[in-house]
């Protein structure tokens, strides 16, 4: 069964450093998403991406964040200058069609900012 994959599973970085989190969505999916979950809290929407551009983003997704689909398979989230409060689990998700269809989530990348 196809699945969303994410690398790395755990990333440790120093405050102020740039990080890139990588995701490979399910191959026939058209919509891609990033969410984050601070430890013990709810899952929060960051951004949705369709047709090579951002469809919607949340208030969390400020100028420090960017997304890219550099090739036909990868979908990346970049944080330019990490802060302590960026420490969280970051989930990538994808689906066939926007609001109606269920989103399939990757296993997550745990980001720890020291």
Partner 1 sequence: AQKVTQAQTEISVVEKEDVTLDCVYETRDTTYYLFWYKQPPSGELVFLIRRNSFDEQNEISGRYSWNFQKSTSSFNFTITASQVVDSAVYFCALSEADSWGKLQFGAGTQVVVTP
Least distance in angstroms from the C-beta of 111 to partner 1: 13
Least distance in angstroms from the C-beta of 96 to partner 1: 10
- 107 near partner 1 (CB under 8 A): yes
- 75 near partner 1 (CB under 8 A): no
Distance CA 65, CA 42 (A): 20
- 31 near partner 1 (CB under 8 A): yes
95 contacts 2 by C-beta, under 8 angstroms? no
Three-class SS string for 24-63?
A: ECCCCCCEEEEEEECCCCCEEEEEEEECCEEEEECCCCCC
Q: Which is nearer to partner 1, 1 or 14 (CB)?
A: 1
Q: Which residue has the tokens 């979950």?
A: 37
Q: Which positions lie near partner 1, rule CB under 8 A?
A: 31, 33, 35, 41-45, 48, 50, 55-56, 58, 89, 91, 93, 95, 98-108
């Amino acid at each position: 069964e196809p699945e969303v994959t994410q690398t790395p599973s755990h990333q440790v970085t120093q405050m102020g450093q740039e990080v890139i989190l990588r995701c490979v969505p399910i191959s026939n999916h058209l919509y891609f998403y990033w969410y984050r979950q601070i430890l013990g809290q709810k899952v929060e929407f960051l951004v949705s991406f369709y047709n090579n551009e951002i469809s919607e983003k949340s208030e969390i997704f400020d100028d420090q964040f960017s997304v890219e689909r550099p090739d036909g398979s990868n979908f990346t989230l970049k944080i330019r200058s990490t802060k302590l409060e960026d420490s969280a689990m970051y989930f990538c998700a994808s689906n066939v069609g926007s609001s109606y269809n269920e989103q399939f989530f990757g296993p997550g990348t745990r980001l720890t900012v020291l």
